[in-house]
Structure 1
Amino acid sequence: MRALFPRSFDPVTRGHQDVLRRAAPLFDEVVVCVMFNSNKTGRFPTAERLDRLRTAANGLSNVTIDSHVGGLLVDYCRRVGIDVVIRGVRNSHDLDYEMPMAYMNHELAGIETFFIAADPAQAYISSTLVTAMTQQDLL
C-alpha cells in the first residue's frame, strides 16, 4: 500500500522526520510531498525543502520525495495512485483541525487518513516555532 505524507515542510523539522521514520515501516511506499497553499507565502525555496526532505529520509529505501502545486490533495492522490494520507498530530487541537479534512478526503476520493501521534519529546515543535528560533537548534 502506498501512503502520502503531505505538508508544506516550510521548514522540515525533527517532528516531521519522526513521523516519517515511524510511518515508513508501515507501508510499502511513503511519498513525502511538498504541498503549496496559494494563500501562504513560503519561507524556504522548493529546492531547499526537497533537499532537506531527502536528508530526513536518508536510509529509508521505500520513501520518495515529490512536490505538488495547485489542485486538491485528493487530485494528487488520484493521479499517483495513493489510498492513504499520513498526518502527524501533536495534540487535540491538531486532531480537531485534521478531522474535517480526513472526512472530506474520504468522501471525495475514498482516501483514508492515518494519524500518528507525535513523540512527546517532539510534540512542541512546529514550523512556526522553528522559523522563530535558531534553525540549527531544532532541525
Structure 2
Amino acid sequence: MKIAVFAGSFDPFTLAHQDLVERALPLFDKIYIAVGVNSAKQGLLTVEDKLYTIQAVFKDHPAIEIVSFEGLTINFCKKVGANFLLRGLRNTADFEFENSIAQNNLLLAPQIETYFLMSRSGLAHISSTIVRDVWKNKGSIAQMVPPEIDDFLKNK
C-alpha cells in the first residue's frame, strides 16, 4: 500500500490544505492528515477542535484518516507504515524551507520520500497565519477555509 502523511499544525485547516489532500488522493491508497501537537504553543483551535473539524471536512473519504502526533514527523511515518510525506508549496520561499526539511528527513529515513504539490492558482495566497489574523480582526474567512471550519468558528 502507498501510504502518505500530510502533517502540520492546521490552525486552522484551509481550502488550500483541502485542495492539496483531494488532489493527492489518486496518488496514494491512504493519507494520514497528522495534526502536530506542540504543548508550548497556544493556537486558535485546540488539537481536539482541529481533529473534529478536519474529520467533518473529510467524512466521506475512507482513504483519509485524521490523527494527532507528537515528536518528529518521520517517526510518525514509521509508526503508521507510511513511505511518503506530502507537502504543499505556495512559492519559492516554501520550496527553500521544505527542501531543507526533506533533505534532512532523507538522512533520518531514506525509505520515506517527500512529495511536493504546488498550490493551485487562486489558493496559493491562503495560509493559516493569514486566516487567524483575519479571524481575530473580525473579518470573513469564508473564502479561505472549508465551510465546516467556518461554521465551527462562527459557533465557537
**How far off its partner does 1:38 sit?**
5.1
Aligned pairs for 1:44-123 within 5 A: 44-69=45-70, 71-110=71-110, 111-123=112-124
Give the RMSD, CA atoms, in angstroms. 1.4
Count of aligned pairs: 138
Distance 1:119 1:27 in 2: 19
Q: For the pair shown, which has the larger CA radius of gyration, 1 or 2?
A: 2
Name segments (4+ residues, structure 1) moved above 3 Å.
37-40
After the TM superposition, which of the residue ranges 49-58 and 93-102 deviates more from structure 2?
Answer: 49-58
Which residue matches 2:150?
none
Distance 1:50 1:86 in 2: 18
Quote the sequence identity (%). 36
**How far off its partner does 1:92 sit?**
0.5
Deviations 1:64-117 (A, max 9, x none): 111002x21111111111110000100111001100100111110121100000
After the TM superposition, which of the residue ranges 4-13 and 54-63 deviates more from structure 2?
Answer: 54-63
TM-score (norm 1): 0.92
**What are the ranges of 5 or more consecutive residues in structure 2 without an aligned counterpart?**
135-139, 146-156
Distance 2:45 2:19 in 1: 21
TM-score (norm 2): 0.83
